[in-house]
Structure 1
Amino acid sequence: MDSYQTPLSSRYASKEMSKLFSNATRFGTWRKLWLNLAIAEKELGLPISDKAIEQMKANLDLDEAQMKVAAEEEKKRRHDVMAHVHTFGTVAPEAAGIIHLGATSCYVTDNADLIFLREGLDILIPKLAIVIHRLAAFAKQYRDLPTLGFTHFQPAQLTTVGKRATLWLQELLWDLRNLERARNDLGFRGVKGTTGTQGSFLALFNGDHDKVEALDKRVTELFGFPYAYPVTGQTYSRKIDFDVLAPLSSFGATVHKMATDIRLLANLKEMEEPFEKDQIGSSAMAYKRNPMRCERACSLARHLGLLCQNAWMTSSVQWFERTLDDSANRRVTLPEAFLTADILLSTLQNITEGLVVYPKVIARRISQELPFMATENIIMAIVKAGGDRQECHEKIRVLSHEAGAVVKHEGGENDLIDRVKRDPYFKPILGELDALLEPSTFIGRAPEQVDKFIAEWVEPALAPYQSHLKDIKAAELAV
C-alpha cells in the first residue's frame, strides 16, 4: 500500500505472465543455467563431482531466506550476478567452486532473457488463437446480416456485420503469423565468454576447439533451443529484442483499430462490448454504458506500440561488443511489452466472447440511407420499363435533394421512396420498389467472402492450436 506497483501486474496481467517476469523465475532460471553449464562441462571432461550436480539440482528454487541473502550480497558487491553465485554456493557447497565456471554475467542474464522471450510468446500465441477463434465464430454468425458500411466515417455501400469482422480477423491472423515467426526464429546466446570469443572456455579445455563448440551446442540443447547465435559480443544482439517487440507493437495497432471500431459502433448503438448486470458506466450519469474494455484496449495498445521504439533505440546505440546502458532500460521494456500484450489479449477474449449486436438499430440506419443507394437500381428499372435514362436521372436527382433537405434541415426521416411513389413518372416500377430496396441485394459477395476466408485462412491457421481451443470449449460448456 505504501510503495508503487505497476498496474500491469497488480491490476491487469495474468498470473502466468506476471510470474514469468518475477524475480523468483529470473533467479531460478539463472540457477538452471549454471546447472546445465556444469552438466555440459562435466560431460566434456571437466572435474565436476556428481555431488556438486546433485546439490545444484536440489536447490533450483529460491525461498524467501535465499532471496534475502542474495539482496544483502548485492548491497555489498554491487553486482547482482555475483551475489547470486555466492548465494547458490551456500546451499550447494560442493558446487561453490565451479558455479559460473568460464562464464560471464551475460551467460545467465542474456540466456535467461531469451528463455523469457520464448516462454512469453508461448503464453501469448495460444491466447491470440483463442481470440481469433471467437471472432471467427462471430463472423460466421453474422455473415449475412446487412449493415451500413462507412468510408471516411460517412455512409457508404452496405457490407455485413460478419464481413466487417473479417477485416479485424485478417489483421489478427497476420499478428499470429508474425508472433510465430518471432518465436521460431529465436536462438540461444549459449556460452560465448566475455567478448564473444569463447576464450575462457578455450582455456578451460586446454585449447580444444571442438570441445568448446560441443559445450556451446550441448548447453543450447539442454534448454531446447534449435540453435545458438553463431557469433555474439558479450551480449546477444539487441536487434533480437526489436525483432520480438516489433510484432507485439504491430499487434497493438490491430487491437487499437478493432477496439476503436467497436467504440464507434457503440456510439451508433449498433454493437456493444459485454456490459455486466451490475456494471456502472458513469458515477454521475446512471444511464451510460461506456465501452470501458475497448477504451482500456486502446489505451494500453498505444503504450505497447511505443515500447518497440525503445528497443529500436537501444539496439542502435550498443557500442562494439556491448555497453551497459541497455540494462536498466530492458528490465522495464521487455516485461512491460509482454505484460501489456497479455492484458490486451485477455481483454480481447472478454470482448469477443460477448459482443452484442442490435439488428433493429442496424436495419433502421440502413433504411435511412438505402434509398439514396438504390437510386441507380431505380434508374435501371425505369430504363428496362421503356423510360429515358437521362430524364429519370434528373427526376431522381431533384427528389434526392428534396429528401436530403428534410433529413438535414428539418431533422426528419429520409422520405425519398415516398416521394418516388407519389410521382406518376415512376408508376411503371412501383411493384418492383420493395425488391429494389431489399438490403440483402446490396451486400455483394460479403457472406461468401466470410465463408471462404474462414475456411481457407482462419481454420488452417488455428489448426495447430486445437488443444487450446478444446480446453476453452470444455470450460465454456461447463459454465
Structure 2
Amino acid sequence: MSDLYENPLITRYASREMASLWGAQRKFSTWRRLWVALAEAEAELGLPISAAQLDEMRAHVDDIDFDAAAQYERRLRHDVMAHVHAYGDRCPQARGIIHLGATSNFVVDNADLILLRESLAIVRRRLVSVIDSLAKFAQQHRSLATLGFTHFQPAQPTTVGKRATLWAYDLALDLQEVEHRIEALAARSIKGASGTQASFLELFDGDHAKVAQLERLVAQKMGFERTYAVTGQTYPRKVDAQVLDTLSGVAASAHKAATDIRLLAHRKEMEEPFEAEQIGSSAMAYKRNPMRCERICGVARFVMSLAGNGAATHATQWMERTLDDSANRRLTLPQAFLGVDAVLRIYHNVASGLVVYPQVIAKHLREELPFMATENILMVAVQAGGDRQELHEHIRQHSQAAAGRVKQEGAVSDLMERLAADPAFAGVDLEAALDPAKLVGRAPEQVDEFLRDVAGPIRQRYADEISGAEELAV
C-alpha cells in the first residue's frame, strides 16, 4: 500500500531470498515444524501421541491461516498461543498435544536459531563471491603501480592489485568469523519455562534419562548435533550479541573498501560501474557519482549501529529472562541480516565491474615519484660511499624547496634536477631510481601469495557457492 511506510531494505536493497527467510510464512512454518519435531520425539519416547495425530500435524505445516492467528492474538495478547490455536483449528485430532510440555521460547528461540544458521550461510556465500571477484581484480592489476597513501598523503607506491588484496583480506577474516559462528550455533531444544526442564520431567514421570534423550532427539530433528549446555528460558542472548558483532564486522569491511573506491573516484583513478543511461546528478549532468559505494557505506553504517543492541539486550536479561528482548530482537536480527545481505550484493556488483584508469594513475604517480624515490636514492648514495646523515639533509632541503614550488607556484616538481645538480649524488643513476617497478617492493609477489594462500583455498572450498554478481534493481 503506497500510503504506508515500506522498509527500503525489503523494497530496494536486500535479496528476496533473505527477505523471505525472515518473512512470516517461513517463521511460523518453522514453529509448526518444531511442534511436529517435539510431538514425534515425545511419541518415540512413549508418550500417548498417535500416528494419526502426527500425520495431521505434518499435513498442515505450511497452510497457515494468518487472519485467524491475528484474531486469536487480538483476543489472547500472546503470539505463540495464537498460533497454537490456529494450528489446532487445522489439526483437531492433534489439538490437545500441540506444544505439549513446552514454553513459548521452545518455538521462538529454536526457530530463531534455525534462521540465524541459514542466514549466516547466505552471508557466507555472498562473502566468498565478493572475495572471488576481488581476487580476479587483484590478479589482473597485480603489477599496476599506483601511489600508496598513509594519512591520505602520498606515501610509498604500491600496486592496484595489492590494494585490492587488503579489501579481500578483510572479508577473508570476516569469513572466518562467520564460519565460527555457524559452527558454534547449537539448539536450545526443550529447556522448559525457566531452563530446568521441570515440565518434561513431569511428563516422563521423573525419568531424567528420557528428558535428556528428548532434548537430543528434538535437537537432531532440528538439524543440530549439540544443544546449549544450560539456559534460562531463552538461549543465551550472548549468542545474538556475537552474531551481530560478526555482521557489524562484515559491514565495516565493506564500508572501508567502498570509502577507498569513493576516494579513488575523486582522483579519477578508479570507478564503480556506471551504466549507459545512469544519471549522476539531477542538476549537474556531467557528474558520475559513486552511488553504489555510497549506498554500501550508508547501509553498512546502519548495520554497524545495531551491534550495540545485542550487547545491551544480553546485559539486561534479568535472572532467567525478561521480555524486553522480544521487541528489540524482532527489529535487530532480521534487519542486520537484510542490511548485510544488501551491502554484500552491492559490493559484489561493484567488485565485478570496477573500472581502472591506468593513465591517470601513472600521471599522479609521476607527479609524486621524485619524492617517493628519495629513500632509494639515499640508499644508493650511501652504498657509493656517502654519509647517510649528510645525504639525508641534502635530500630534505631539496625536497622542501621543490615542494614549495609545487604548492606555492603550481609548478612541476624539479626535485630530480636539483639532485642531479648536487655533487653529493653524482654517482647515482637518478633515471633508474624513478622506475616505478623498483619502488613497489614485493607488492606483485604479495598479490600472488595472497591468491595462493588465502583466496585460493577459499575459492576451492566454496567453489559451488561462488556466483556471478546480481543485477541491482535500483
Normalising by structure 1, we get a TM-score of 0.93
C-alpha distance in 2 between matches for 1:25 and 1:397:
67
Give the structure 1 partner of residue 19 of structure 2. 18
Within 1, Cα distance between the matches of 2:32 and 2:155?
A: 61
Q: Give the Cα–Cα distance (whole angstroms) in 2 for the partners of residues 367 and 91 of structure 1.
A: 76
Alignment partner, residue 450 of structure 1: 447
Q: Is the 8 A contact 1:385 1:428 kept in 2?
A: no
Structure 1: segments with no counterpart, 5+ residues: none
Equivalent in the alignment of 1:86: 85
Q: String of CA shifts for 1:33-64, please: whole Å, max 9, x gaps.
A: 1111111111111111111111111111135x
Structure 1 residue 3: Cα displacement: 1.1
SS at match of 1:322: coil
Partner of 1:270: 269
| Larger CA deviation: 77-86 vs 389-398 | 389-398
Does the Cα contact within 8 Å between 2:39 and 2:49 map onto a contact in 1? yes
1:441 paired with 2:442, answer no
Q: Does structure 2 retain, via aligned residues, the 8 Å contact 1:139–1:163? A: yes
Q: Percent identity?
A: 55
Task: Please give the secondary structure, in 1, of the residue aligned with 2:100.
Answer: coil
Residue 30 of structure 2 corresponds to 29
Q: 1:427 to 1:444 in 2, by over 3 A?
A: closer
SS class of match (2:274): coil
Structure 1 distance, partners of 2:91, 2:322, is 32
3-state secondary structure, aligned to 2:93: helix
* Match in the other structure for 1:242: 241
Match of 1:118?
117
- What residue in structure 2 maps to residue 461 of structure 1? 458
TM-superposition CA deviations, 1:252-284 (whole Å, max 9, x none): 221111111111111111111111111111111
Which residue of the partner structure matches residue 299 of structure 1?
298
Q: By how many angstroms is 1:149 displaced? A: 0.7
Residues 12, 429 of structure 1: alpha-carbon distance in 2 compared, 3 angstrom cutoff: same
Question: Which runs of structure 2 are paired with 1:142-153 in the superposition (5 Å)?
Answer: 142-153=141-152
Deviation, 1:377, is 3.9
How has the CA–CA distance of structure 1 residues 59 and 437 changed in structure 2, closer, same or farther, with 3 Å as cutoff?
A: same
Q: Is the 8 A contact 2:188 2:235 kept in 1?
A: yes
In structure 2, do the counterparts of structure 1 residues 208 and 147 end up closer, same or farther at CA, with 3 Å as the change threshold?
same
Q: Corresponding residue for 2:359?
A: 360
What is the CA-CA distance between 1:405 and the residue it aligns to? 2.3
Mapped contact 2:144–2:161 kept (Cα < 8 A)? yes
Q: Is the 8 A contact 2:381 2:425 kept in 1?
A: no
State the TM-score, normalizing by the size of structure 2.
0.94
- Tell me which residue corresponds to 2:106: 107
- Cα pair 1:368 1:413 within 8 Å, conserved: yes
Partners of 2:30 and 2:261 in 1: CA distance? 41
For 1:296 and 1:267, how far apart are their aligned partners in 2? 16
State whether residues 24 and 62 of structure 1, in contact with CA within 8 Å, keep that contact through their aligned partners in structure 2. Answer: no
> What SS class does the counterpart of residue 464 from structure 2 fall into?
helix
Aligned residues: 470
Structure 2 CA distance for aligned equivalents of residues 326 and 307 of structure 1 = 14
Structure 1 residues 409 and 20: alpha-carbon distance in aligned structure 2, compared to 1, 3 A threshold? same
8 Å CA contact 1:77–1:83 kept in 2: the answer is: yes
Aligned twin of 2:370: 371
2:379 and 2:38 map into 1 onto residues whose CA distance is 79
Mapped to 1, the partners of 2:47 and 2:393 lie a distance apart of: 95
**CA distance in structure 1 between the aligned counterparts of 2:121 and 2:168, rounded to whole angstroms:** 20
Q: Which runs of 5+ in 2 are unaligned?
A: none
Q: Is the 8 A contact 1:27 1:62 kept in 2?
A: no
Q: How many Å separate the matches in 2 of 1:427 and 1:67?
A: 84
Deviation at 1:15, TM superposition (A): 0.5
Deviations, residues 161-214 of structure 1 (Å, cap 9, x unaligned): 111111112211110000110111000010111111111111111111111111
